[in-house]
Chain A
């Protein structure tokens, strides 16, 4: 019997009979601490969240007993809340598309370059990721505020008479979200591009294709599933983000995350806040599952 297994037979035997071996029933129990802790700090709270979303709201900070779909009906039948959901998805679409456009050239460069600057470039891409989101957002204020860098340039050049509003509105949220998620996009794209061998590209070049032709007819079609997977992953993170919209929107930009926080902390409608949270979770799970499917395709 030809087998690719090169290990001695004896080992195979001990593997199943000896619990202290490299694998076996003895190891199974090690899952219990994590399961116990996650049950207490994650699964039970999530189950209660789901149950809160099905309870009636009977006053500030209290939920009644009984089961009702009223919170979901209220969300899904009111144009205002549907508009909030639509705005969330629209902002996600705009932010991730900008990330894709800005990130692709950088990712391509990092995936293909054998330059001695590659290490430095990777450091520069990763550096913002390791610094607190709040601090990165903070850095946009001296740039985008009424008396900040951009308005100073615009006023000095006489391009505008009064400062443009770039923070505490959707513009500020979009700029800061692009900045927050661009490194993730770049890293996802680097992996995708590295999977397409550079020899395919060279073959196209040798056959007379120009750089743009090669890009649109060879690289882009080959990287499409990976690209879509990366797009969906970043999209999910963007629509789930709370810190940046809360900080850059100055309580004026209402998207799913800021709506949920407002319901829980200011309006004190816990049942409706829970329902909105479940709806955001549903959207996030659908997107994550479809990105996993795309990834499997690549």
Chain B
């Protein structure tokens, strides 16, 4: 690469990365500004927006975390089992089954939300079962698009995996159960963790499903932020957002240290 074209390329890369960082920086800067939240330039440094964060936001954060943890846990368990079956099982229509298991990824989450919402109406009509606006229905709605993430990365983990290791363990006297917990599962763990992280992020990020299936009892943090800016823009929203950004960045650094961000990407949802 010639020096000049290298220089131009680096310049473009710098500008694009600055564009990517810009809104994150803007959230943080305006959360400390004493002036109106959307105005530039920022005015005198203040922490009062952090003191003004209302309990509603902590409640919404709590709901988001409960739903995300629940949806991730469910997805990790059934997704890992499904990935094992898809790789090792002997069944007719194996290909069809794996397409079916991945199919929620093809469906826009808004459409999943609409379908889930109408299904709750059907359940009410048939069984008089009222499940709308509960943590459980939100968790299940999120699981619909979280399960395929886990299946996909657990399948990828098994693709580079030597099945003879299990045979070796059994030849050395391990029982099938011991083999599963001491050989199979540890080897699959990086894939399961990656899938779990994606599932968690997808759930924590979701607006449409939470908006359609949830109500006043189950306001998640993204829905709370979205509806607050429609009515009144309080600067403490920026403070909440900054806290979430900081926690996300710290978690990301931990993930980077533990499994490496590069192994995480390449399986991102398109």
Residues of B within 8 A of A108 (CB): 9
Q: Contact check, B252 vs A132: say whether CB atoms are below 8 A apart.
A: no
Size bracket of the B interface? 35 or more
Q: Contact check, B226 vs A29: say whether CB atoms are below 8 A apart.
A: no
The segment from A19-27, A69-77, A219-227 that touches chain B is A19-27
How many A-B residue pairs have C-beta atoms within 8 angstroms? Tell me.
Answer: 305
Interface SS of A by simple majority:
helix
Residues of A within 8 A of B17 (CB): 106, 121, 124-125
The 6 lowest CB-CB distance pairs between A and B, nearest first, are: A139-B23, A240-B108, A233-B270, A28-B89, A34-B82, A23-B88
Q: Assess A242 versus B245: contact at CB under 8 Å? Given A23-B163, A237-B270, A257-B110.
A: no
CB distance from A168 to the nearest CB of B (A): 11
Other 15 A-B pairs with CB < 8 A, given A31-B85, A242-B207, A246-B207: A7-B164, A11-B167, A23-B88, A23-B90, A30-B82, A42-B104, A102-B16, A128-B20, A134-B205, A135-B225, A138-B27, A138-B241, A145-B39, A179-B23, A281-B108
Cα distance A198–B262 in the bound complex, in angstroms: 20
Residue in B86, B110, B112, B208 whose CB lies within 8 Å of A42: B112
CB distance from B132 to the nearest CB of A (A): 13
Contact with B along A25-58 (1 / 0, CB 8 A): 1011111011101101111111011001000000
Q: Contact check, B106 vs A284: say whether CB atoms are below 8 A apart.
A: yes
Q: Contact check, A184 vs B101: say whether CB atoms are below 8 A apart.
A: no
CB distance from B70 to the nearest CB of A (A): 13
Q: Contact check, B26 vs A37: say whether CB atoms are below 8 A apart.
A: no
29 contacts between A and B (CB under 8 A): A20-B176, A22-B88, A25-B90, A37-B140, A42-B104, A46-B107, A48-B118, A48-B119, A106-B12, A125-B20, A127-B252, A130-B252, A131-B245, A133-B207, A134-B226, A139-B25, A139-B241, A142-B38, A142-B238, A147-B39, A148-B38, A148-B39, A179-B23, A240-B108, A243-B208, A243-B226, A247-B229, A260-B114, A277-B114
Q: Which residue of A lies closest to B80 (CB)?
A: A30
For residue B222, CB closer than 8 A to chain A, the reply is yes
Contact with B along A1-29 (1 / 0, CB 8 A): 00000010001001000001111110111
Q: Contact check, B21 vs A37: say whether CB atoms are below 8 A apart.
A: no
Q: Contact check, B266 vs A38: say whether CB atoms are below 8 A apart.
A: no
Residues of B within 8 A of A44 (CB): 119
For residue A141, CB closer than 8 A to chain B, the reply is yes
Contact with A along B77-120 (1 / 0, CB 8 A): 11101101111111100000100110110111111101111110
Q: For residues 112 through 169 of chain A, which have their beta carbon under 8 Å from a beta carbon of chain B?
A: 112, 121-143, 145, 147-149, 151-152
Residues of B within 8 A of A236 (CB): 270
CB distance from A4 to the nearest CB of B (A): 15
Cα distance A234–B166 in the bound complex, in angstroms: 40
For residue A91, CB closer than 8 A to chain B, the reply is no
Q: Contact check, B262 vs A27: say whether CB atoms are below 8 A apart.
A: no
Cα distance A265–B113 in the bound complex, in angstroms: 12
Q: Contact check, B119 vs A102: say whether CB atoms are below 8 A apart.
A: no
Q: Which residue of B lies closest to A103 (CB)?
A: B16
Residues of A within 8 A of B204 (CB): 132
